[in-house]
Structure 1
């Protein structure tokens, strides 16, 4: 609580937007606060650069530039940078607030990590750094304080823009470099230069610490530690942890090689190396940890709270220091060597002893020494890239080198030729050592799976699972295939094609919508033609008598307007009017004849002759036996 009360920024509103609510941590470059972004109503971490670092115009400009670059990084393993600003002599970064702790606090609490957890943590750090290196950013201050661990166990790297901006500006204005001496690469110490390989070195030193519980170099002063970085070699962790596998020693040595050219080129290459080592170890080795007692934090310890920035601790040299460039020269000088003189004298005695032994060996066993311990024990890996496998194997055999062969597909290297070697061409390898050959299997060919008649989602998932890239889907109407079902693929199922061939999938949109015309009253032939043209299928269901629609013409249809191609339209055709046979009513009484004709549907009219007094029919206008429609008028002549 005293920290909160004494800090003048607590409760302050920065840039009319960020309300500072608590101080999280204070490091060598900045102080980090928890703040509320009033505009977006979210909790953020506000990192305020120390005023003495921001005094110069150059450092402020660099800070702004690097902050913009860091903000472009989009990776789940990088603490996101939301905003950057300067106000009231404050230079600040607004960052993602990470709920959790940092790797330094985790180490303080647990002492060391199991081998598998240490390798996996470093692999995640390198994955985040690889994204930065691809974007042209170098961190320059990788250390446990800047590795955040969320409550869900995710690993995030913090402080990208700030570390580089402050370091470069300090070099430009004072000739000194800023950093954490325990993790500085030799080239940073000697000339202030740093590229991606400097971050790789720092990760290697950090891996050593995760495994052993302490930093690789110890010294009473930072300059002593810096001297060891330049003139020493990071010890093999197995010197303390006897059971540690050789692969881990070799990994630490590769990451912390003194010459940058001997390290992985960037974090991406280093991550691949770490992954290869981790996956080569068995579960027993991965679960083991050095016998270092854990140190649980007290309830009031800040280690259990939210840690958002570097924290200077009493464990080794973890704070940020300013070190003059060139303070540790590349050449050894007793006057400049900050290590105790007793150690120097001891080394000289050892060197003299080795020379004496060498001279004695040259008298009798010199050849043995040269070929088993000295330079003659090593040879260089020949350049076998592009050579046929058999030729490469023969070359290695001629040089008394063993080999192992891995094969992999390659789009560029023909089948049977060497893609790469490990160690690479020109690297030293013991004469009885082994060279790993990676041989091309040629272009990977894939067989297009049969996905026709499958639902679209299922078909696309099958193709992608087989390694194919799917082109944008073609969608067409289809009479027989339901909507959303695959009609065909190009290339066709069963074809063998390159793995990078795009597969075009044609998916049915179902039946095509059409408009059915009204064909009532039209002749059967014309109606059928009109329906065919529209995409419908005409079908005559029945023929009926009709008094007004001519025979063979459409009386009615079942569908008009909106329909789907191929739908059946049922038609009713006219048989014309119904005809009835006229009966013979000659000689019948008019009333009987009228009744009979009326009952058959005819209209009857009477025409009297001589007054029609007898009422007998003597003639009919439509002859008996004729067939005429109902309603026909029949005139009866009556006498």
Structure 2
């Protein structure tokens, strides 16, 4: 039965903004849905805490702390958290939606990976964890279920739901969650996490956990990538917990003979039961893993694991069809912390039956005692051999102590402090520098060999000091065409950002006016730079020069930033004198530099003067007015009794419309 049909959140609108559309996964603390941010119209993932936990203030605080913690991280391999909120009983996170599948899905489908593929997955995971560790955050639930692989092959770490803040980190007191774990919200007497990946100190809770619990879990994940199986399996969680506490993780090469010993050593170091023998954090583990990768041949990296490491599907058959049923993923769990004695004593039944003791032999029946003599001689020789071996071991130990020394931790120290620490261990330091986004300038980022590893005293230890964050000055792109500007940004290891447009009187259309941040500003590698591109000069008002003499009109247009041109044709105008402007082709606003074409007036259009001789005064006046002329009378008309005797201009001549015709009586 599909339980999603009864999910009350499907179709809901959380916080009036986030529409819940499809259930993706169900975990130990929350359910993840695909949804849409209706305000920004983008697809995202909604992680909603289970209703049974939402009423628990501790769980709710932990849930909210995830949003705050991940919001502090800016890393391409960490799933972004956009928002956190509550809607009734639904406490939720709005997160980046990562289309693809989990690393657990990959392992279920393929089993063990080639070494190259395993490192290609684990290295970005360690890069993400390293960024968190250097920011003072510990994930505490690293496992394949929390590693997402996009359709394009991008690896991202998700679910910082158990994140804790290291003491002394930049977070304020409100981010800490109680004294039990110096920032952890775990309650004494409870174990929280996924049992297959729990470090011993997480189980025992004898001391505050730090970033090395993530290193331990990453070592378990590496074992699983190389072998296709978990190192510890048992019938119940308590048996797995016991093995974490009392057994070392086996070498991957025991399960897959082709695994190089260097990777066996990496797994052993990362999963050391005593945290002081593990790499200090994910950054140091990543550096060690990359050194191993460089030492391996292409044949070693690309060798396919044996077919025996591939998963065997389990079939559940019914009358209609056969369905492959994969084992369910292991979820984050919260369970009661048992008494310490129960953790130290193996639970029964265990994986293998306890071997029965052989009965004690009291002598050889019917023998003459010679067997006992041989036993005594063997005991003597065994004692002698043991003593010799002991002497050799002691001598070798002291000789190795003269040649080798364990590398002490100098991470975060200045060069002077590191020199003192290394000299105290009988080692010399060879100092190099590298950029770091998280380690302040002048402090140690890493050592080679890593912390706890044996180093030859004569060789020294390579110590990498931080140069601080690498910053790239924004190049001056003013006046560069847009395509050329983008190429220059990419070449400078910056990212072309958003592009907007604006007017510019000096920058040609299509070229860059300015950048944000401005030229010369320092930015991290691959940081975005926004570009403002010119649309050319802004339009301005065109002067109205109609009616003006041509020279005056040309001066007015030139002064406003335009070009003036005379049209080839002229036009008659009853109102504009000849030689003045009667029309212009551009009005309103235009781009400066545009050409305005002027039409000059030829004055009023000539009209043929009608013949009004012999007409009465009123008739003559009406005829001339209708033809467009003004009328002037000369002489006396004797109250209209006389007719027109002559006119000037004469009838049939042409005269400008509006000119005066004189009539005489």
Encode CA deviations 1:310-333: one digit per residue, 9 max, x unaligned.
27xxxxxx99865426448999xx
Indicate how the Cα distance of structure 1 residues 354 and 629 shifts in structure 2: closer, same or farther if over 3 A, else same. Answer: farther
Measure, in 2, the Cα distance between the counterparts of 1:414 and 1:153.
32
8 Å CA contact 1:101, 1:149 repeated in 2: yes
8 Å CA contact 1:83, 1:95 repeated in 2: no
* Corresponding position: 1:211 with 2:226: yes
* Corresponding position: 1:177 with 2:204: no
**Residue matched to 1:334:** none
**Residue matched to 2:546:** 520
* Corresponding position: 1:297 with 2:293: no
* Corresponding position: 1:360 with 2:391: yes
**Residue matched to 1:186:** 200
Alignment of 1:72-221 (within 5 A): 107=107, 110-123=110-123, 125-126=125-126, 140-144=140-144, 161=161, 172=187, 175-191=189-205, 193-216=208-231
Indicate how the Cα distance of structure 1 residues 635 and 460 shifts in structure 2: closer, same or farther if over 3 A, else same. Answer: same
8 Å CA contact 1:48, 1:92 repeated in 2: no
Aligned to 1:378, which of 405, 418, 426? 405
Measure, in 2, the Cα distance between the counterparts of 1:66 and 1:11.
26
8 Å CA contact 2:79, 2:96 repeated in 1: no
**Residue matched to 1:586:** none
Higher relative contact order (CA closer than 8 Å, sequence separation 6+): 1
| 2:590 match: secondary structure | strand
Measure, in 2, the Cα distance between the counterparts of 1:414 and 1:163.
23
Measure, in 2, the Cα distance between the counterparts of 1:357 and 1:235.
30
Aligned to 2:330, which of 306, 310, 313? 310
Indicate how the Cα distance of structure 1 residues 319 and 282 shifts in structure 2: closer, same or farther if over 3 A, else same. Answer: farther
**Residue matched to 1:486:** 512
Encode CA deviations 1:189-217: one digit per residue, 9 max, x unaligned.
33264444313212212322332355445
**Residue matched to 1:587:** none
Offset at residue 101 of structure 1 (A): 7.8
RMSD, aligned CA: 6.7
Measure, in 2, the Cα distance between the counterparts of 1:159 and 1:547.
85
Measure, in 2, the Cα distance between the counterparts of 1:459 and 1:238.
52
Encode CA deviations 1:282-309: one digit per residue, 9 max, x unaligned.
4322222544613431443999568875
Offset at residue 361 of structure 1 (A): 4.2
Measure, in 1, the Cα distance between the counterparts of 2:498 and 2:37.
40
Offset at residue 550 of structure 1 (A): 5.4
Offset at residue 417 of structure 1 (A): 12
| 2:391 match: secondary structure | helix
Indicate how the Cα distance of structure 1 residues 307 and 271 shifts in structure 2: closer, same or farther if over 3 A, else same. Answer: farther
Alignment of 1:197-346 (within 5 A): 197-216=212-231, 226=241, 229-230=244-245, 233-238=248-253, 241=256, 243-264=258-279, 266-267=281-282, 270=285, 274=289, 277-278=292-293, 281-291=296-306, 293=308, 294-300=310-316, 304=324, 309-310=329-330, 322-324=336-338, 326-327=340-341
* Corresponding position: 1:65 with 2:61: yes
Aligned to 2:534, which of 502, 508, 517? 508
Measure, in 1, the Cα distance between the counterparts of 2:278 and 2:299.
28
| 1:300 match: secondary structure | strand
Aligned to 2:595, which of 563, 568, 584? 568
8 Å CA contact 1:66, 1:162 repeated in 2: yes
| 2:545 match: secondary structure | coil
Offset at residue 429 of structure 1 (A): 1.9
| 1:324 match: secondary structure | coil
Measure, in 2, the Cα distance between the counterparts of 1:76 and 1:247.
26
| 1:526 match: secondary structure | helix
Aligned residues: 538
Q: TM-score, normalised by structure 1?
A: 0.59
8 Å CA contact 1:170, 1:176 repeated in 2: no
